[in-house]
Structure 1
Amino acid sequence: MLHLRLITPPDCTDDAVRLIENTVGTTHLVVLTGAARDPEGDVVTCDVAREAGDQLLSGLQELGLEKTGSIAVENIDLSLSRRADKAESDAPGEAADAVLWEHLVDATHEESTLSVTYVAFITLATMIAACGVVLDNAILIVGAMAVGPEFGPLAGICTAAVQRAPRLALRSLIALLVGFAAAMAITVGFSFFMDAVGLFTEEQLEADRPNTGFIYAPDWFSFVVAILAGAAGTLSLTSAKSGALVGVAISVTTVPAAANAAVALIYGDTNQTLRSSEQLLLNLLGIILAGTLTLLIQKWLWSRQQRNSAG
């Protein structure tokens, strides 16, 4: 269930209440006349089944409440109410299949912001991965994958493609490109330092690396795994099962590939640099294609389900 809190201008309150009452899957409607002070207006709250949430939010936006008032949405972790149970059973479809598009756009917008924190995380992840490739340590590689925040901008690109949001697409693309460029540049400097103090050596990089050699050996399996991970990651975002993102993060070799390319660059190994870059681009492409296709399928299936329910 979702909890909605609205601030509505007095002349829009009746329309908002009528919309809520006519939406199947809503309950616990409360109207507090004149309770809001900034902005001034009425406060309207209700609970709505997740599968009816997107339809209700779209209707409220058509009333212009996001401009003249406020629309706030929260997830309800526990609701002990027979009315809530009935609202969920009455709402068409399954909650796990419902996509709150406004929530997805907002979440990916935040995750795809080029901030100091984002650059710090992706840089630290790349430096950890650099240590992993030199030491041929799979644990460090997995750790670096989990730390990397690059799925946010990738999800933003997918969402922007489906929702036709060019500003979100540009924002996500800038975060992705600038983030990786900065991380690789700083990792090059980090690798020079580690080489100077004797912790990185060319012999370690060029030695047989059974645990991390796959990072600079792109093949069709790399693309297939990226496709599967992109689909799983997108589903985890749309179904609010964020725990699955950890599994997605450690399934693709984006950050390790960037790290391997940076380390190989300081030793003049153009073959590893190019192959690692190819691995990076292959994984990014696979995630974007799978994520976009997953969202398109979800949108089509949900629209079809809603039409069948209405019929």
Structure 2
Amino acid sequence: MLHLRIVCPPERTEAVLGVLRAAAGATHLVLLPGAGLEPAGDVVEADVAREAADDVLAELCAMQLDHDGAITLETIDTSLSDAADRAEADAPGDGADAVVWEELIARTGEESRLTTTFQAFMTLACLLAAVGVVTDSPVTIVGAMVVGPEFGPLAAIAVGLVLRRWDLVRRAALAIGVGFPLAMLVTAGAAALGETGGLFDREVFNGAQHQVDFVYQVGPFSLIVALLAGAAGMLAMTSAKSAALVGVFISVTTVPAAGYAAVAAVLGDWGKALESSAQLAVNLLGIVVAAALVLWLRYRRNRFSSAGANGRPLAAG
């Protein structure tokens, strides 16, 4: 269940209540007249089954309440109520399969911003990957995969492409386009300092076979894994299965490839540096393509389901 709170002008309150009363899957309706201070208005609250939330939000946004008032949506962890059970039973579909498009746009929009925190995580992840490379430690490479924050912007690019939200695409592309090069530059500087300080030996690195060589060895399976990870990641983001994202982070070699490329460039192994860069590009492209395809399929399914139920297609936002 999701908790919905609406601040609306008093003259639209009855219309809002009508939408919620008519919606299959809405319950626990509460009206607080005049409780809204900024923006001013009445406060209407309700609990809505996840599978019914998107249609309710579409009708509320059509009333311009996102401009003239406020609409807030929160996840309810536990709801002990027979009314809530009936609402979930009445709502069409399954909550785990439902996509709340406004929630998805808000989530990916937030995670796609080039912020100091995003850049810090990206840089730390690349540094961890570099340590894994020079110490031949697959465990450290896996740690770098988990720390890397790159899936958020990649998912935002997919969402922006499918829903034609070019602001999301631009913002996410900026995060990726600046985040990776800057993190690689810092990593290269750290690698140069490490070699100068004797932390690792150039000849040993260039001449030996390593357990982490899979990072730069680009091939057909690089694309296959990226496609599978992108599909799984988008399914996790558009459903109630967000725990699956951890597996997505571990399965792709985006950050490790960036870290390997930086170290190899500093040590003069330009072949490995180029292969690592190719691995990075293949992973980024594969994730976006698969995520966009999964989202497009889910969008079409929801669009036609909504048209059949309400006589109107789902808006693209």
Scaled by the length of structure 1, the TM-score of the pair is 0.97
1:264–1:270 contact (8 Å) kept in structure 2: yes
What is residue 289 of structure 2 aligned with on the other side?
A: 289
What is residue 34 of structure 2 aligned with on the other side?
A: 34
2:55–2:306 contact (8 Å) kept in structure 1: no
Aligned length: 311
What displacement does 1:306 show? 4.0
What is residue 148 of structure 2 aligned with on the other side?
A: 148
Q: Does 1:270 align with 2:273?
A: no
Q: Which amino acid in structure 1 is aligned with residue 145 of structure 2?
A: M
Whole-angstrom distance in 2 between the partners of 1:263 and 1:55: 50
What is residue 129 of structure 2 aligned with on the other side?
A: 129
- CA offset digits 1:45-72 (Å, max 9, x no partner): 0111100101100110111111111101
Whole-angstrom distance in 2 between the partners of 1:310 and 1:118: 41
What is residue 314 of structure 2 aligned with on the other side?
A: none
1:93–1:305 contact (8 Å) kept in structure 2: no
1:129–1:140 contact (8 Å) kept in structure 2: yes
Whole-angstrom distance in 2 between the partners of 1:222 and 1:3: 41
**Percent identical residues:** 50
What displacement does 1:265 show? 0.6
What is residue 230 of structure 2 aligned with on the other side?
A: 230
2:215–2:253 contact (8 Å) kept in structure 1: yes
- CA offset digits 1:151-184 (Å, max 9, x no partner): 0100010000111111110000000110001000
1:132–1:139 contact (8 Å) kept in structure 2: yes
What displacement does 1:73 show? 0.5
What displacement does 1:140 show? 0.5
For residues 1-311 of structure 1, the aligned pairs below 5 Å read 1-307=1-307
Whole-angstrom distance in 2 between the partners of 1:74 and 1:91: 18
- CA offset digits 1:19-68 (Å, max 9, x no partner): 11111111111111111112211010011110010110011011111111
Whole-angstrom distance in 2 between the partners of 1:123 and 1:33: 50
Unaligned runs of 5+ in 2: 312-317
What displacement does 1:309 show? 5.2
Scaled by the length of structure 2, the TM-score of the pair is 0.95
What displacement does 1:201 show? 2.0
Whole-angstrom distance in 2 between the partners of 1:6 and 1:43: 6
Unaligned runs of 5+ in 1: none
Whole-angstrom distance in 2 between the partners of 1:209 and 1:238: 41
What displacement does 1:205 show? 2.3
What displacement does 1:241 show? 2.4
> What is the DSSP-based 3-state SS (H/G/I as helix, E as strand, rest coil) of the residue aligned with 1:243?
helix
What is residue 315 of structure 2 aligned with on the other side?
A: none
Q: Which amino acid in structure 2 is aligned with residue 186 of structure 1?
A: V
Whole-angstrom distance in 1 between the partners of 2:177 and 2:205: 26
2:96–2:241 contact (8 Å) kept in structure 1: no
What displacement does 1:5 show? 0.7
- CA offset digits 1:71-104 (Å, max 9, x no partner): 0111111111111111111111111111111111
Whole-angstrom distance in 2 between the partners of 1:186 and 1:200: 18
1:122–1:149 contact (8 Å) kept in structure 2: yes
Whole-angstrom distance in 2 between the partners of 1:209 and 1:35: 68
